[in-house]
Amino acid sequence: MNVGDFDGDGNLDVIINGNDWGTEVSVGRYDALNGLMLKGDGHGNFRPLSILESGIYIPGNGKALAGLKGNKGNYLLAAGQNRGPLKIFKLNRSVSFESLLPGDVSADLTYKNGISRKIEFYWGSSFLSQSGRFLITDENIKSVIITNNKGEKRKL
């Protein structure tokens, strides 16, 4: 899974890469998901989007999902499939990337609409995949305060 504000509405969304074909022979494979985006409403509720709405289509034996910075400054989502093609999805909106220092552990974001959110940074946070260590910002964010592992804060 990968969590972020993929549609730019200020609410967290979830993208899932699933299926598991490595189960016991007597059980059969878990094969009912072609990738999925869940659109968040900011109140803990999520609505599944169709493949046409989200553009996410990962039909194979999904094993990994990682957020990356593209060479043209765009946000990419790489979806790995066991013995299948690597699928790359590009976010269709402009974002900025803020570089993180090795000791950075979290960021407090304040949006122009008054919403605030805390994001934690990890050195690996998913099954068989690791997203790049960066913070994505856009024009909806009013301020960013990053905290490091010593409790020191800096404002971007």
Global confidence as pTM: 0.82
Round the average pLDDT of the chain to a whole number and report it.
Answer: 86
Q: Which domain holds residue 26?
A: 2-155
Banded pLDDT at 128 (limits 50, 70, 90): low
Look at the chain and report how many structural domains it folds into: 1
Q: 113 pLDDT exceeds 90?
A: no
Integer Cα distance of 106 and 23 in angstroms: 37
Q: What is the largest CA-CA distance in the chain?
A: 55
Distance between first and last Cα of the chain: 28
At 46-103, the pLDDT tens digits run 999 999 999 999 887 877 888 889 888 889 999 888 888 889 999 988 898 988 999 9
